[in-house]
Amino acid sequence: MRVAATRAAAAVAVVAVLIGLWEGYHWVWASAGWTWPFAVDNTSMPHVWTIAKAFADPAQANQASLISLLLHKTLFTAKEAAAGFVIGALVGFALGVVLVHSRLLQRGFLPYIVGSQTIPILAIAPMVVIWVNPKLPPSLQGWGAVAVIAAYLSFFPVAINSLRGLQSADPRALELMRSYAASRWSILWKVRVPASLPYVFSALRIAATASVVGAIIGELPSGLQSGLGGAILNFNQYYSIEPQELWATNIVAAGLGIAFFLIVVGVEKLVVHRAPERRA
């Protein structure tokens, strides 16, 4: 309990410092009139209280407050990100399992797995959406395609790290298993997979963020209004008038990313009964 309290206190302190830095920077740059790296005024750097107030106010006349609007959108995006994360993690891990058994397959496919991440998924997103949507049942349409994009960004770190983790099994443990004439399957699950856990969780932390990024980016070309990506595009158009709304949205998006990350860390602490921070 003590640890949680100190952690919470530290987090609050950090936020306080950040707010202080923000306002301090704003004040110094605005007073001095410096324009590098960018000109500072209430539009480029809205005051913290303006942003805070924006949360409570409605985004548009006669509507719910911004914060509740953003929460709805966050849940929508979170749904896409979570689905993408799970699909990506499973696919990534499966790839790792397949590749660990064959050096030939590794040499053949790894360059393309790495290369896949050089393809700007955002650019392909419209095509993915048009192609995937009709194949999905109506309830999954729209956000389902975005989940695919989130999965695309999530699978890579998990695949690479799963492979490394599965390969990291102690050769002597493998020899022991072979002396028991254990089947490949049993060696996999009894020795390799447990050895891979620290690596896999390290990758899951990266994949958590990647899935949120993928979800937000995926929404952009699909024109989906219901998520954070849509909100960012919308509020971007009004930036010069109401900058605080875009900032508020970004803060919420940042919160979503951090939340996903913390969930993975939490699950890791439950599943892996030892210090998760290995040299993975």
Partner 1 sequence: MSAAAISQRAGRQVVEWLPALVILVAMLAVWEGSIALFHIKQFLLPKPTTIAATFWDDRHELWPAGWYTFKEALGGFFGGSIAGILFATLVARFRIVGQALMPIAIAANAIPIIAFAPIFDAWFDPLSPHSKMAIAGVLCFFPVMVNTLRGLQSVQPRQIELMRAYAASDFEIFRRVRVPTALPYVFTALKVASVLAMIGAIVAEYFGGSFEALGVLIRNDAQTFEFPTAWAGIAVASLLGITLYLAVAITERVVVRWSPAARSSQ
Per CB under 8 A, contacts with partner 1 among 201-260 are 205, 208-209, 212-213, 216-217, 220-221, 228, 232-233, 236, 239-240, 243, 246-247, 249-250, 253-254, 256-258, 260
Q: Judged by CB under 8 A, does residue 50 bind partner 1?
A: no
CA dihedral 239→241→244→247, nearest 10 degrees, is 0
Q: How many residues line the site for partner 1 (CB under 8 A)?
A: 56
Within a 10 A sphere around the Cβ of 199, how many other Cβ atoms? 23
Q: Judged by CB under 8 A, does residue 104 bind partner 1?
A: yes
Q: Judged by CB under 8 A, does residue 112 bind partner 1?
A: yes
Distant-in-sequence contacts of 17-26, Cβ < 8 A, 24+ apart? 19/48, 22/48, 23/47, 23/48
CB of 213 to partner 1, least distance (A): 4
CB of 54 to partner 1, least distance (A): 14
CB of 75 to partner 1, least distance (A): 16
CB of 39 to partner 1, least distance (A): 8
Q: Find the angle CA(154)-CA(157)-CA(162) to the nearest 5 degrees.
A: 115
Q: Judged by CB under 8 A, does residue 119 bind partner 1?
A: yes
Extract the tokens encoding 74.
Answer: 């966050």
**Residue 64 phi, psi (nearest 5):** -65, 165
Q: Which residues pair with 68 in a beta bridge?
A: none
Q: Binding mask 122-141 vs partner 1 (x if CB under 8 A, - otherwise)?
A: xxx-xx--xx----------
Cα–Cα distance, 82 to 254 (Å, whole number) = 16
Task: Give how far Cα 5 sits from Cα of 8, 15, 268, Å.
Answer: 5, 15, 20
Three-class secondary structure of residue 65 per DSSP: strand
CB of 189 to partner 1, least distance (A): 27
Q: Judged by CB under 8 A, does residue 118 bind partner 1?
A: yes
The answer to whether 211 and 260 have CB atoms below 8 angstroms apart is: yes
Judged by phi (left if over 0) then psi (alpha if -120 to 50, else beta), residue 102 lies in beta
Extract the tokens encoding 100.
Answer: 């660990």
Cα–Cα distance, 155 to 117 (Å, whole number) = 10
Stretch that binds partner 1, among 25-33, 60-68, 86-94, 103-111 (CB under 8 A): 103-111
Q: Judged by CB under 8 A, does residue 54 bind partner 1?
A: no
In terms of CB distance, is 187 or 217 closer to partner 1? 217
Among 44, 63, 183, 186, binds partner 1 (CB under 8 A): 44
Q: Judged by CB under 8 A, does residue 38 bind partner 1?
A: yes
Binding site for partner 1 (CB under 8 A): 10, 14, 37-38, 43-44, 104-105, 107-112, 114-115, 117-124, 126-127, 130-131, 205, 208-209, 212-213, 216-217, 220-221, 228, 232-233, 236, 239-240, 243, 246-247, 249-250, 253-254, 256-258, 260-261, 279
